[in-house]
């Protein structure tokens, strides 16, 4: 597989991709047409903020399966177009957290004590101490818009400077505010009370342009404004006007609605009480290595067909939830594969029932893994964790999740039932020691086998030499049996065999097996998730 790296990223991430066997091409400074011309040969791409992955680029990426953003913001990628194509978009949301936090603190200090201006004055041969008299942070109020990974760390550091911290974040519960020592307020209150206002939000429909002329007018006189989040959150022209009028005392801006910020679109020219930097929030050696490695790991997982917790066009998962459900992903996908092989006719409903401890956690992505396993064997298009729910909907397959605290025979188990117009089949799976995947029941038949490789299911009449006849035919064909389970069926005098074999079974051998007297049915299932 081939991966395009379209921006400068740390070589550590590129090395990681190559160590995993991918062919990596580094081609930077490509415009839209340049990307369109070359993207068709790549399975994945890694970008930073300078590359704009538009709908046209995505449409040209016929083989494209994953887009990795080495950083947090993904507003340079058309997420909607990628999702429609089943392309996973991953980012690196945590690796640059400390870098962005520290840069914000540096920007706060810079506009508080006029550090850049004083430096330039001294370098010009001047000695003007009075001109650069600053203020103290102690006892001032800082309003934090977005009290997430970065905002919460800003709060901690500013509290150490003896500032009073207030915050606005509609997605953070009051308990978290209390834990952080941040007073929760609404946006209007924050604007009116804050001596400093710093923004730490992603760019969404709700946050785009959230701080404009109307909001700036509500701010107290002498406020200082800092933005190290996303450029389009703030109207920089309205801010510049407020600085010129004297309403805003100063500003420190690292991100801009249009980047790069060129001289002809810079509204801050000639303003001495403004510090601007060229999007340096994540520009530390450590952060650049971190985001490069993190996004490479996400790209590798996506290309391997695995769930990616940092995928932005999938439901986000807290790390603790992901670690709880992660061991079950492979089992769930294999149960979907076995279920669709057992079924006859088009699927009408897929029902997934979780019991025990699993029922207490977020299981949506596990259900998606079942869909992925059930749909991939019957469709030409590639089905992954991004597009599986939509594919099921377009095929009018009802998907139901059920949770129960009835533990049954196992602490944690999953029952997958696939219903068609000809009936339904169920199978139960679990993990032994939270590691070893097992199928422990098919319909009403209790079994115990590992779902991998090639699996032969053979319901038959309970009579002598059934195992011997099957083993003889497979042995003569040089097909190795790696495991066998036998279970009694509810119908008197019948059993079912689950036989694991090392290789595929040719059609002529399958005909011989089906021809054994007493065989009621014979299904060969290839339990392969890749």
> For the segment 441-495, what is each residue's pLDDT rounded down to a tens digit?
888 778 888 888 888 888 889 899 999 999 999 999 999 998 888 877 666 788 8
Q: What are phi and psi of 45, to 5 degrees?
A: -145, 150
At residue 185 the predicted structure's pLDDT band, cuts being 50, 70 and 90, is: very high
| 377 contacts 388 by C-beta, under 8 angstroms | no
The residue-averaged pLDDT of 176-186 equals 95
- pLDDT (0 to 100) of residue 84: 83
| 145 contacts 168 by C-beta, under 8 angstroms | yes
The DSSP element (H or E) to which 192 belongs, if any, is helix 187-193
Q: Tally Cβ neighbours within 10 Å of residue 266.
A: 15
Pairing of strands 412-420, 423-432: antiparallel
- pLDDT (0 to 100) of residue 422: 85
DSSP 317-348: --HHHHHHHGGGHHHHHHHHHHHHHH--S-EE
At residue 521 the predicted structure's pLDDT band, cuts being 50, 70 and 90, is: confident
Between CA 308 and CA 317 the distance in angstroms is 9
- pLDDT (0 to 100) of residue 265: 96
Residue 516 half-sphere exposure toward CB, CA atoms < 13 A: 26
The residue-averaged pLDDT of 2-22 equals 95
Residue 72 pLDDT > 90: no
Mean pLDDT comparison of 252-266, 375-389, 426-440, highest-scoring range: 252-266
- pLDDT (0 to 100) of residue 516: 94
For CA atoms 412, 413, 414, 417, the dihedral sign is negative
Residue 173 pLDDT > 90: no
> For the segment 386-427, what is each residue's pLDDT rounded down to a tens digit?
888 888 888 889 999 999 876 566 678 899 999 998 888 999
The model carries a pTM of 0.67
For the record, the structure tokens of 446 come out as: 């209790």
| 495 contacts 527 by C-beta, under 8 angstroms | no
> What residues contact 44, with CB distance under 8 A and at least 6 apart?
1, 2, 3, 4, 22, 64, 65, 66, 67, 68, 299, 302, 303
Specify the higher pLDDT residue, 25 or 361: 25
Cis peptide before 260 (omega within 30 of 0): yes
Closest CA to 198 of 160, 237, 162, 169: 169
- pLDDT (0 to 100) of residue 344: 78
The residue-averaged pLDDT of 421-442 equals 87
| 366 contacts 307 by C-beta, under 8 angstroms | no
Closest CA to 165 of 120, 188, 197: 197
| 273 contacts 249 by C-beta, under 8 angstroms | yes
- pLDDT (0 to 100) of residue 203: 85
Distances (CA, A) of 192 to 147, 213, 290, 445: 18, 14, 38, 68
Least confident of 310-319, 429-438, 504-513: 310-319
| 87 contacts 65 by C-beta, under 8 angstroms | yes
- pLDDT (0 to 100) of residue 243: 98
Specify the higher pLDDT residue, 384 or 59: 59
- pLDDT (0 to 100) of residue 455: 87
> For the segment 83-136, what is each residue's pLDDT rounded down to a tens digit?
888 899 999 888 889 999 999 999 999 999 999 999 999 999 999 999 999 999
> What residues contact 142, with CB distance under 8 A and at least 6 apart?
108, 154, 155, 158, 163, 164, 165, 166, 194, 195, 196, 197, 198
> What residues contact 328, with CB distance under 8 A and at least 6 apart?
358, 366, 369, 414, 431
Residues designated catalytic: 230, 259, 279
At residue 231 the predicted structure's pLDDT band, cuts being 50, 70 and 90, is: very high
- pLDDT (0 to 100) of residue 342: 86
For the record, the structure tokens of 444 come out as: 């009403």
At residue 362 the predicted structure's pLDDT band, cuts being 50, 70 and 90, is: confident
- pLDDT (0 to 100) of residue 390: 84
Average pLDDT along the chain:
91
Distances (CA, A) of 504 to 439, 513, 515, 526: 20, 14, 18, 8
> For the segment 337-359, what is each residue's pLDDT rounded down to a tens digit?
999 888 878 899 999 999 888 88
The residue-averaged pLDDT of 256-271 equals 94
Residue 331 pLDDT > 80: yes
- pLDDT (0 to 100) of residue 409: 65
DSSP 140-172: -EEEEE--SHHHHHHHHHHHHTT-EEEEE-TTS
- pLDDT (0 to 100) of residue 357: 80
Q: b/e map of 61-75 (b: 16 or more CB within 10 Å)? A: beebbbbbbbbbbbb
- pLDDT (0 to 100) of residue 527: 84
């Amino acid at each position: 597989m081939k991966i395009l790296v379209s921006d400068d990223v740390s070589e550590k991430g590129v090395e990681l991709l190559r160590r995993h066997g991918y062919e990596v091409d580094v081609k930077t400074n490509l415009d839209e047409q340049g990307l369109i011309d070359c993207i068709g040969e790549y399975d994945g791409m890694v970008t930073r903020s300078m590359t704009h992955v538009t709908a046209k680029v995505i449409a040209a990426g016929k083989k494209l399966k994953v887009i990795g953003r080495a950083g947090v913001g993904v507003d340079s990628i058309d997420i909607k177009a990628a999702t429609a194509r089943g392309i996973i978009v991953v980012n690196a949301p945590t690796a640059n957290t400390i870098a962005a936090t520290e840069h914000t603190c540096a920007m706060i200090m810079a506009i508080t004590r006029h550090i850049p201006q004083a430096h330039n004055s001294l370098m010009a041969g001047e000695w003007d101490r009075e001109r650069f008299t600053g203020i103290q942070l102690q006892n001032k109020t800082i309003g934090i818009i977005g009290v997430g990974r970065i905002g919460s760390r800003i709060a901690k550091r500013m509290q150490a400077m003896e500032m009073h911290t207030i915050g606005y974040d509609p997605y953070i519960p009051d308990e978290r505010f209390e834990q952080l020592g941040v007073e929760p307020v609404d946006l209007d209150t924050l604007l009116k009370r804050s001596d400093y206002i710093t923004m730490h939000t992603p760019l969404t429909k709700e946050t785009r342009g959230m701080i404009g002329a109307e909001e700036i007018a509500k701010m107290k006189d002498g406020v200082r404004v800092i933005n190290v989040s996303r450029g389009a959150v703030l109207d920089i022209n309205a801010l510049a006007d407020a600085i010129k009028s004297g309403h805003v005392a100063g500003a420190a801006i690292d991100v801009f609605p249009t980047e790069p910020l060129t001289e002809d679109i810079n509204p801050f020219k000639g303003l001495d009480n403004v510090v601007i930097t060229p999007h340096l929030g994540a520009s530390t050696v450590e952060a650049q290595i971190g985001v490069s490695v993190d996004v490479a790991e996400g790209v590798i997982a996506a290309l391997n067909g695995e769930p990616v917790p940092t995928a932005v066009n999938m439901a986000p998962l807290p790390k603790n939830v992901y670690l709880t459900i992660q061991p079950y992903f492979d089992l769930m996908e294999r149960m979907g594969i076995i279920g669709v092989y057992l079924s006859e006719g088009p699927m009408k409903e897929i029902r997934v029932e979780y019991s025990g401890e699993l029922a207490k956690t977020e299981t949506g992505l596990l259900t998606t893994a079942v869909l992925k396993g059930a749909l991939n064997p019957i469709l030409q298009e590639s089905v992954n964790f991004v597009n599986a729910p939509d594919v099921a909907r377009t095929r009018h397959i009802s998907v139901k999740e059920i949770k129960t605290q009835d533990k049954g025979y196992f602490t944690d188990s999953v029952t997958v039932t696939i219903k068609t117009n000809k009936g339904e089949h169920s199978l139960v799976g679990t993990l032994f020691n939270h590691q070893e995947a097992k199928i422990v029941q098919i319909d009403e038949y209790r079994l115990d086998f590992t779902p991998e490789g090639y699996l032969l299911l053979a319901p038959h009449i309970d009579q002598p030499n059934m195992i011997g006849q099957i083993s003889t035919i497979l042995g003569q064909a040089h097909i190795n049996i790696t495991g066998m389970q036998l279970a009694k069926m509810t119908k008197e005098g019948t059993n079912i065999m689950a036989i694991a074999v090392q290789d595929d079974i040719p059609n002529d051998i399958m005909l011989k097996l089906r021809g054994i007297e007493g065989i009621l049915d014979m299904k060969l299932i290839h339990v392969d998730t890749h």
